[in-house]
Structure 1
Amino acid sequence: MIAVLTGDLVESTRLSSTHYTQTINALTTVLNHLQEQTGCTYELFRGDGFQVVFPDPKHAIHALFTIRLYLNSQMSEVAVNCTQALAYGEGTLLESSPGTSNGEAFVLSGRTLDNTRGGEFRVILAPGQSGTKGQQTALDIMCSQLSYVLNRLSKKQADLLYQYLSQNFPTHQVLADNNNTSRQNISERLKSAGGDLLAPFIDYINALKG
């Protein structure tokens, strides 16, 4: 099994040329970082699209949120959202080129992206993995609800969630020390930003795909 994440930048045509270049540079930066961390392979295409292949699927759902929150918070002048479709299944990566590769996971990811609302994300399990149609339906609802939460974050909230995620969910006191504030303040800010949902959702997906 592999995992394939396909994504599109939201409303990229409305960005100025400067902000578009900044966004593509940021996307390339975070994808390079993920490649170093996980051994994934990625490709940018269509001007505002990207596809990432994870030979080790356990890294994929964490990477989905990493890309999303990085683009939401880590650029100095702009925050950009993306639509994402993550699929688990069989597939073969051809010559380190996701765009020319094939297999179940590639097909599911691409088709799902085409049917996903702008700015939302979906996670799709191959029929042999998901077990029942009802299970996938429940997963779709969870993705929709978590998308709703993340899409309403301020840039500061997204930045705090990115710190929390990229540091692999440290204690609230560690985040407080890093941000020169109190643990109570960090706890309240994380809760209001939906931070308590990320780790359980990542664990749930990694357990479900097995």
Structure 2
Amino acid sequence: MVAVLTGDIIRSSDLSPEKREELQVVLNQGFAEVTRLSPSFRAEQFRGDSFQGILDPQEGLRALLLLINFLYLRQFGVRIALGLGTVSYESDSILTSDGSAFQASGPALDDLKKKNQLLAIAGPSDSFNQEWRVHALTLDYLLSRWTIPQAEAVLGALQGYTQEETARQLGIRQPAVQQRLQAVGWPVMEAILERFVPFTHATHL
């Protein structure tokens, strides 16, 4: 069982050469941060503005949210689809590997572009997809409305920092961090993250 993340930078064709160069740096930094928190993570880019990554399933949703957050704070938009499932063929390249996780992630990203949404969560069973379509819509609603200060507080939470640690990093007081997290709906995000873990086992799919 693995999680596959397939992502696409929003409106990348509008980027200037300078912004494209900056995007590459930001993507590399984002991948490094996910790897720091989830050592199993591996990612490859394709078409310049798209990427695919694979990692342990229980870490998949947090990695998805972290990447969206990381790029948003650096003024880049991204859509990411998470596919949960198995790998039936593993090659040296993620892009040429195959399995139910890949088959769930790729089409889910295509659907995101049509619906103009930020994230999707898909698996190999109808029961999984019925529940996680609702959770993905909830997360999409919250993330599409957050502010930069709120996203900064969420990044700290996703990285596992306490509110006091995040406050020190941002140069503000802990109650301000708490206020930002409440305003953006972090308790809801956290509950969805906790709900996701049991579904990373095959018996729940």
Question: TM class, shorter-chain normalised?
Answer: 0.7 to 0.9
Query: Structure 1 CA distance, aligned partners of 2:103 and 2:129?
Result: 17
1:32/1:179 CA distance change after superposition, 3 Å: closer
1:205 aligns with 2:201: no
Q: How far does the alpha carbon of each residue in 1:127-163 deviate from its partner, in whole angstroms, 9 at most, with x for none?
A: 2xxxxx3552232122112112111222222122112
Aligned residue for 1:113?
Answer: 109
Aligned residue for 1:150?
Answer: 143
Q: Which aligned pairs between 1:49-198 and structure 2 lie closer than 5 A?
A: 49-54=50-55, 56-73=56-73, 75=74, 79-91=75-87, 92-95=89-92, 97-116=93-112, 117-127=115-125, 133-166=126-159, 168-170=160-162, 172-198=163-189
Question: What is the TM-score with the length of structure 1 in the denominator?
Answer: 0.86
1:34/1:183 CA distance change after superposition, 3 Å: closer
Check conservation: 2:122, 2:128, Cα contact below 8 A: no
Check conservation: 1:169, 1:199, Cα contact below 8 A: no
Percent identical among aligned pairs is 24
Check conservation: 2:4, 2:53, Cα contact below 8 A: yes
Question: What is the TM-score with the length of structure 2 in the denominator?
Answer: 0.88
Gaps of 5+ in 2: none
Output the amino acid matched with 1:93.
E
Output the amino acid matched with 2:158.
L
Q: Please state which structure has a larger fraction of its residues in strand.
A: 1
Gaps of 5+ in 1: 128-132
Q: How many residues align?
A: 197
Check conservation: 1:176, 1:183, Cα contact below 8 A: yes
Aligned CA-pair RMSD? 1.8
1:39/1:208 CA distance change after superposition, 3 Å: closer
Q: Please state which structure has a larger fraction of its residues in helix.
A: 2
Aligned residue for 2:42?
Answer: 41
The secondary structure found in structure 1 opposite 2:154 is: helix
